Structure 1
């Protein structure tokens, strides 16, 4: 992993980092509240000769007192001093406990002893410091007494009362909170880095290409519009509101990448699949078909998921008869091929759910059906997931290649590698990967992020382009009169009406009546008409005329 990956991980888990920092601060603050505050008081004692004050001889007295300072500094730690201080304070604490709360130092070059005492309140700390000075003075008189009155020639004098601070010296709230925050921040950063290093989910297109060796041919942004039953996106959307433009642009980009995928031998039959269910393969297949058809190219969308078909519901078409019925020999292909509201787009629904989907999809009849369709149009097949069942692998072997759909932030590289490996073992061609549900904003968004800027989106108030031709509605007019053409003039079979239901039977009857009046309908003729709607098709038709 590179540095940018770790920085991206910190951005991705910034909430966790902030939360852990706050937890560290809160923990430190709670610890401060649970501690007993300790206050500190300081008192100074001057070591001075008693004769100096009474008889003169200041120089000699001061020099002699200075020689006693180290001795008195050592006497402070005596147990007898602590016991005497306890008697003065009338404390129940042991001498050792009292001595632990008193510290005495001698500032360099002075005859002063600095007593620092700690207690649970400022007054107690001041009293303890003063008591220790008095106890030391009495001990000195007892040990070094030379006069008849029992006093020592050198004494210790307290010039003023102990100085007390109202702020406790322990715990230090500011330091504790700072340390807690730093520790929480460190734990949060460590958590984010560990999660980033161990994250095996698909995130970025560059990482997918580097790790899997498969090109990313498209990135589809996440949108609430794709979560409904009717998951079709209008390819003509140019408004940036609601993310419709981002979706339309994503499928247009995918369409363009397919065009330039193999210029010498472009794929005509493409399987859309995914490692597991829920990655959005059916949505990608339907919208890619719409985008291809919007470009003027005849497209046949085949629902190859014979276990859980969804194409018919998404395209708002009857799905009782379809591919399984054709493969079983109950109906002809032309009988169940349906037109859609999108010009140039035909749909072959899954039909009845068979007990043996894999055998049907891997049959020679399935190959002939795909070859026949690919002769007249580009074929997009919605296949089942690769890992739960073998249907997707079988269909990829029958087709020119497969596009594998991966969910950003959901699909792991382990699962994706297994899916790609399954296709390679079946000698299937992997055309590329489509990243689905990519966030429009945030750390995992793409570099372009589909951000619509001025100049990219045409003004909705502007009149339509003059290049639009009324011939683009030709196929829609034909679709309103019939739902399925026939191959080579073969008539509609009665089995189709019985299998597909009354709505499909009514549309089939309309087609039969129209065919009787105007002649037999050929699928390749209809596709030819559809292709001539495009500018290049119109030029070819003009040359023939």
Structure 2
């Protein structure tokens, strides 16, 4: 993983990381507060050796004292010392329990004996340390004998009285909280890494390119309108009332531009709009692409070729009593089932019509191929087809079209489904024109990962708002001779 991958991981999973940090700190703090407080006090004693007739220590005496100190440290753990300390303190604690609360050490290169005592209160810790030193002096005197100035000997002298501890030595709240925070952060980071490794959903354009080799030709933002189930752009260019629609309109125009560059010498004239799985938003994307193409002066025919779950008629609020299947069956002329939508009639919509029992055969028929060819002479044909899984309708259409655009739901469609869709196209020698990432988050942790930064939203959201709350879509009356009840007004009429 590169640095940008870790940064993206941090942006996506910042909340679990923060929760792990806070939860780990809270648990460590609670654990620390529940633990009994332990206070620690130190008391020292000095070991000296005097030679016969000398009044002070010599070099040889210093060496002998150092050699004796190690033995005296071991004496510090004897039961007899604990009994002497208990007698001095006047307590009934067993020698075994007292020994566990005391530690006797010798600082390096010294003849000092250091006694460290632990107790539930500062006073008890101080008293125990001092009593332990006294007990050791008593036992050492019994073992070594009382030193005689005439003959010399070993003397253990108590040092200053133990200081009263001002704070508990255990639990160390700051250290425990720091360790708890670190452990919580590591666990949350492990969760984020494992979840990312196991996540097969499409979330970035890089994942699409790496896993399928296809280019992402468009990234369409998730707007409140799309979240509510609509999201069609107004037919008049620049009449988007809400900033979210302006953002969607600009992203769709970028898709239009990228589509024109897929083949500069022979731009696609017949495009199949499909998706690996249902719910990717292909119908709305096909409709909006048709709208922005018509806004640019390109004649467009939008055909609902999803003969299993047609959506175009409901999306555009058009009559679906007769449509594509009726024209293919010879029950109506193509003009009779064509809805001329918007100003100047640059956009025509053909709904699905009656759902046949054999959609694949209908879409693969010679009449269907001829219809697309005829319409494509003077217009770009966009066909809203069923998903590539589990039916083959879209693959059949794409095999005879100029290519297919695969619309994927960001955070919903899986890499496996997209790979299966590309394999379905390759089996019939259909050309994938690219992938359109739909419903890309513009807020929250996924915003920066998918390219919709705050600057992007500000730039396209700062334009002057047209004072039209919902620009209606006009349906132009059909050509003479067409059915008079085919086109009904869409939103706002």
The TM-score normalised by the length of structure 2 is 0.84
Report the counterpart of residue 530 of structure 1 in structure 2.
none
Which of 440, 445, 448 is the equivalent residue of 2:450? 445
Report the counterpart of residue 469 of structure 2 in structure 1.
none
1:214 aligns with 2:219: no
Q: What pairs up with 1:473-512 in 2 under 5 angstroms?
A: 480=476, 482-483=477-478, 485=479, 491=481, 503-504=485-486
Q: Take 1:109 and 1:231, find their aligned partners in 2: how far apart are those partners?
A: 82
Report the counterpart of residue 37 of structure 1 in structure 2.
37
* Structure 1 residues 204 and 65: alpha-carbon distance in aligned structure 2, compared to 1, 3 A threshold: closer
Unmatched 5+ residue regions in structure 2?
467-472
- Note if contact 2:422-2:432 (Cα within 8 Å) is conserved in structure 1: yes
Q: Take 2:201 and 2:50, find their aligned partners in 1: how far apart are those partners?
A: 85
Q: Take 2:460 and 2:199, find their aligned partners in 1: how far apart are those partners?
A: 38
Q: Which has the higher contact order (CA 8 A, sep 6+)?
A: 2
Equivalent residue of 2:56, what SS? helix
1:120-150 Cα shifts (integer Å, max 9, x gaps): 22122122212212322332343444699xx
* Structure 1 residues 457 and 59: alpha-carbon distance in aligned structure 2, compared to 1, 3 A threshold: closer
Report the counterpart of residue 299 of structure 1 in structure 2.
300
Report the counterpart of residue 286 of structure 2 in structure 1.
285
Report the counterpart of residue 320 of structure 1 in structure 2.
321
Report the counterpart of residue 102 of structure 1 in structure 2.
102
1:21-58 Cα shifts (integer Å, max 9, x gaps): 22221222122123222111122334579999xxx963
* Structure 1 residues 143 and 230: alpha-carbon distance in aligned structure 2, compared to 1, 3 A threshold: closer
Q: Take 1:129 and 1:457, find their aligned partners in 2: how far apart are those partners?
A: 75
- Note if contact 2:105-2:115 (Cα within 8 Å) is conserved in structure 1: yes
Q: When the two structures are aligned, how many residues end up with a matched partner?
A: 473
Q: Take 2:460 and 2:390, find their aligned partners in 1: how far apart are those partners?
A: 46
Q: CA deviation at 1:59?
A: 2.2
Report the counterpart of residue 429 of structure 2 in structure 1.
427
Q: What pairs up with 1:49-448 in 2 under 5 angstroms?
A: 58-59=55-56, 67=64, 70=69, 71-107=71-107, 112-145=112-145, 156-158=156-158, 160-234=160-234, 236-237=237-238, 241-342=242-343, 343-440=345-442, 442-446=447-451
Report the counterpart of residue 5 of structure 1 in structure 2.
5
Equivalent residue of 1:318, what SS? coil
Unmatched 5+ residue regions in structure 1?
462-474, 498-502, 508-545
Q: CA deviation at 1:197?
A: 3.5
- Note if contact 1:49-1:62 (Cα within 8 Å) is conserved in structure 2: no
* Structure 1 residues 215 and 158: alpha-carbon distance in aligned structure 2, compared to 1, 3 A threshold: closer
Q: Take 2:115 and 2:390, find their aligned partners in 1: how far apart are those partners?
A: 80
Q: CA deviation at 1:403?
A: 0.7
Equivalent residue of 1:308, what SS? coil
- Note if contact 1:221-1:438 (Cα within 8 Å) is conserved in structure 2: yes
1:293-330 Cα shifts (integer Å, max 9, x gaps): 11222211111111211111211211121112223332
Equivalent residue of 2:263, what SS? coil
- Note if contact 2:318-2:486 (Cα within 8 Å) is conserved in structure 1: no
Q: Take 1:456 and 1:81, find their aligned partners in 2: how far apart are those partners?
A: 83
